[in-house]
Structure 1
Amino acid sequence: MQYGLIGERLGHSYSRRIHEQLAGYAYELRSVAREEIDAFLTARDFQGLNVTIPYKRTVIPYCDELSPAARKIGSVNTLVLRNGRLFGDNTDYAGFLYLAGRTGISFAGKKVLVCGSGGTSLTARTAARDSGAREVVVLSRGGEENYQNAPLRHADAEILVNTTPLGMFPNLGGKAVSLSDFPQLEGVLDVVYNPLRTALILEARERGIRCAGGLAMLVAQAKYSAEQFAGHPIPDGRIDEIERGLRRELSNLVLIGMPGSGKTTLGRACAGALGREFVDADALIVQRAGRPIPEIFAQQGEAGFRQLESECLASLALRTGLVIATGGGAVLRRENVAALRANGTLIRLLRPLGELPVEGRPLSQGSPLEKLAKEREPFYATACDHAVENQGSIETVRDRILEAWNEVLSHERSEH
């Protein structure tokens, strides 16, 4: 191959689409087993490569020349063959600094905690020190500085960077530390880009801490690599353009609201307009359970139904590019909302109570709608990213939803 990415497991990489947009060359994803890496690198049957886990340090002895950044960090993510000589660089360094700068996070004079001790950790801590950090502390599972004693020893930390795979697809929800233990934090960066928002980033957003996941870093380091592969500069504006397109392509549009508020009908309409797959969470529950929802309630009670619902939503949260209609009570469990937010934007549909149908809806029939609506109001208000009135034609409301969805995505980027 001429250009591509090597690593041990590359199943969910976005690198091909990024590079092909950046420079137009063919870009391959090549999984290389550990026992094959020596023969692959010795053959040098390529022009330019990106390198990911676990080979960022493995490739160094095969290089004839290293960039100052790669030499200083001790990690290489970019290989370029030039006149028969193999040049190794670390564009993660520039990509990480781009992410921090775009997010408005400055390391100058700050105490920085870096979770993880692998190759990306080397990059992050070097970048932080080079940017004037007052102190950089590396946390790991064991050793003197670890996740357990960090709250006692480093509660004064001002910036936290996650370079571990905790919270990465498919194990959403994981995180090395709780941000509540670090009351002086003013910035959080997570190099994980799948999902779009890790549990760490969601917690930072809830606490009003300036934060960003790793998608912009991924695109930025690819741009700096692509310049070396293609042999010409690429405008920095392409980073923002490609990241914006990727975020829109990957983000799920999730509809929440009272039973009968129109989530299914409008979800189908939105999916049709976007050319996306539509999933009705209640229909998925019925399919998996093999019986209708009233029967599930009758046999297993509300608690049994809610457990089935949580399992279905957790599976949907792993996917991207969907339009999802949730059940009316999906927001009652905090874990459901967190799962849906990992890759989704939650739009609430508002409809007058007098217009909500109750037939076939166990909870709507079992208690006055006014009481149900009042009980659920704080859950809807907390969960939604935007609210849309379901008043007017399907096409009119559909367009309002899509406008709100795009507005949330744009705002999420600009608030960085």
Structure 2
Amino acid sequence: MGELVYGLLGRKLGHSWSVPIHTALGCAGYRLIELEPEELPAFLAREDIGGLNVTIPYKMDVMPLCDKIDDRAAAIGSVNTIVRRDGKLLAFNTDADGFCFMARRAGVDFHGGKVLVLGSGGASRTAVACARQLGAREVVVISRSGPDNYENLSRHADADIVVNTTPVGMYPGNGAAPVDLTAFPRCRGVLDVIYNPHRTALLLQAQALGIPCSDGLAMLVAQAKAAEEHFFSRSIPDGETERILSALRHETENIVLIGMPGCGKSTIGAALAALTGREAVDIDAEIERRAGCPIPEIFARGGETEFRALERQATAEAGKRTGCILLTGGGAVKTPENYGALRQNGRIYHLLREVGTLPTDGRPLSQGADLAAMWRERKPLYERFRDTVIDNNGPAEETAQAIWRDFCAYSGD
């Protein structure tokens, strides 16, 4: 028999980050395996299977095709890890390890609480089992058509914890949320198994409300570690989970620059690109590409209203990217929806430069304007959007280095 097969089994896997995680854990040949439902039996009959993770929509479908189901996986009714040993397929649920790690890491306490689990698939089954294991008083599954559904959520306004196991808000459907958290005034914890984007609309709302929360990347890394231990019958130090999680956050988080027109975003973006090797994405350039004309022509044709609509669209698309430097226009903060688009995968830096030194050439709203008045209007908007402030009255290279130092220390917060 040749080299054994290790990988992630699913139907559509373009969004997956599993390969770099398993590679970091030492499984160099790990790959993505996309199959249609009718292909599952023949594939799982292969004798060269070493170890597989299983994701949507096959976490329950693979169970009849396995020779032995681990007791915990059988109790949960969902499988996400398969290993072939002595010609037999053994099935496990390491999602449970990942879920419990995610909850503890986020400081979400299930003890004595009422838990709403959104969704009824394989990930939901894991969340229900873990919630009970962690001491939940009551666990309610919300589905689209079950007795507890999105039309009668008001009967569960006393929920303490909300767990999203649906794909609502997942890339490329960024920006959507399965529920409005203000419907649950007692809520003390929110967990979302989605990890792309880093901060779904649900998590951004939780953060705005001051509710402890977590995305699913911590769960993904922790379950991968547990899966690798099954694959190779070896123990992996717990510290590897945090090491890989930190590296992934750093690699995939965007650096976002905001600030007044002429404050130096393009110059600093170029300096950061040279310093880090990351791509700098100029959202104004994307607007011009979409419009087929320069920004001054957009203003002449449709005024600021047309420009802001194009800017919102371009920002929404740019914000879905990961590991980039995003350069915004000076007035991007005037559109509230742009905050979620920029923050979902990014750390936002507000560049400050003395108002009297700001250039106005080529900037329709700056020419002939009272820049001091513009600053007074936009200052609270920049403060709402930003994660931190960076002074840009000195050399560009020094500013870029200051941003990179901060980013290396705090990316992923």
Match of 1:22 in 2: 25
The counterpart of 1:34, out of the listed 34, 37, 46, is 37
Within 5 Å, which residues of 2 pair with 1:347-366?
Answer: 347-366=349-368
Match of 2:51 in 1: 48
Match of 1:153 in 2: 155
CA shift, 1:367, in A, is 2.3
SS at match of 1:126: helix
Within 5 Å, which residues of 2 pair with 1:10-409?
Answer: 10-150=13-153, 152-409=154-411
Amino acid at match of 2:64: P
In the TM superposition, structure 1's runs of 4+ consecutive aligned residues that sit over 3 Å from their partners are: none
Please, which moves more after superposition, 366-375 or 39-48?
39-48
CA shift, 1:366, in A, is 4.2
Is the 8 Å Cα contact of residues 278 and 323 (structure 2) preserved in structure 1? Answer: yes
CA shift, 1:255, in A, is 0.1
CA shift, 1:73, in A, is 0.5
What is the CA–CA distance in structure 2 between the aligned matches of 1:254 and 1:27, rounded to whole Å? 32
Amino acid at match of 1:338: G
Is the 8 Å Cα contact of residues 386 and 408 (structure 1) preserved in structure 2? Answer: no
CA shift, 1:63, in A, is 1.7
Gaps of at least 5 residues in structure 2 are: none
What is the CA–CA distance in structure 2 between the aligned matches of 1:200 and 1:165, rounded to whole Å? 12
Is 1:8 paired with 2:11?
yes
What is the CA–CA distance in structure 1 between the aligned matches of 2:78 and 2:175, rounded to whole Å? 28
CA shift, 1:53, in A, is 1.1
Amino acid at match of 1:207: L
CA shift, 1:24, in A, is 3.6
Amino acid at match of 2:19: R
CA shift, 1:44, in A, is 3.9
CA shift, 1:320, in A, is 0.9
CA shift, 1:287, in A, is 2.3
Is the 8 Å Cα contact of residues 385 and 408 (structure 1) preserved in structure 2? Answer: no
In the TM superposition, what whole-angstrom CA distance separates every residue of 1:354-408 from its partner, at most 9, and x where no partner exists?
Answer: 1101111111124200111111111100000111111221111111111232343
What is the CA–CA distance in structure 1 between the aligned matches of 2:396 and 2:30, rounded to whole Å? 42
TM-score, normalised to structure 1, is 0.96
Amino acid at match of 2:44: L
Is the 8 Å Cα contact of residues 23 and 230 (structure 1) preserved in structure 2? Answer: no
What is the CA–CA distance in structure 2 between the aligned matches of 1:366 and 1:296, rounded to whole Å? 18
Please, which moves more after superposition, 22-31 or 331-340?
22-31
Is the 8 Å Cα contact of residues 116 and 161 (structure 2) preserved in structure 1? Answer: yes
Please, which moves more after superposition, 45-54 or 218-227?
45-54
What is the CA–CA distance in structure 1 between the aligned matches of 2:254 and 2:411, rounded to whole Å? 11
What is the CA–CA distance in structure 2 between the aligned matches of 1:368 and 1:393, rounded to whole Å? 26
CA shift, 1:2, in A, is 2.0
Two-structure CA RMSD over aligned residues (Å): 1.2
CA shift, 1:54, in A, is 1.2
SS at match of 1:378: helix
- Larger relative helix fraction: 1
CA shift, 1:334, in A, is 1.2
Is the 8 Å Cα contact of residues 193 and 215 (structure 2) preserved in structure 1? Answer: yes
Identity of matched residues, %: 52
Amino acid at match of 1:121: S
In the TM superposition, what whole-angstrom CA distance separates every residue of 1:247-292 from its partner, at most 9, and x where no partner exists?
Answer: 1111110100000010000011111111111111112212222221
Is the 8 Å Cα contact of residues 354 and 393 (structure 2) preserved in structure 1? Answer: no
What is the CA–CA distance in structure 1 between the aligned matches of 2:96 and 2:283, rounded to whole Å? 41
Gaps of at least 5 residues in structure 1 are: none
Q: How many residue pairs get matched?
A: 410
